[in-house]
Amino acid sequence: MNHDIFEKKGAILSISQFTLSWDASKGHRPSLEKSMPPQQAKIFYPTFNDKLKESGLNVGSGLFGAEMKVVSTNDGPVTFILNF
């Protein structure tokens, strides 16, 4: 966590997932009101990935609006788990 992604020649896996923007501050049912509207996000997501690639990073990406299964083997100093 003390090194730059460029220094370590790291890569990014970019996945479009609106549920990451949920707000659970008002009880058990999440609010997704802070999510970007789908029409806007469909344009933003590939633009975001293009900007990452322009910086020279190796970027893997998903498909906007698709159901995707992601398998991850963590090989690093830390994994963050958030429970709500």
Residue type, position 37, single letter: P
Q: Which of 6, 18, 39, 47 is catalytic?
A: 18
73 tagged catalytic: no
Task: Find out whether 26 and 3 touch, Cβ atoms under 8 Å.
Answer: no
Whose CA is closest to 20, among 30, 10, 5?
Answer: 30
Whether 18 is a known active-site residue: answer yes
Task: Specify the DSSP class assigned to residue 64.
Answer: T
d(CA 17, CA 3): 27
Q: Which of 19, 39, 73, 79 is catalytic?
A: 19
Catalytic residue ranges: 17-19
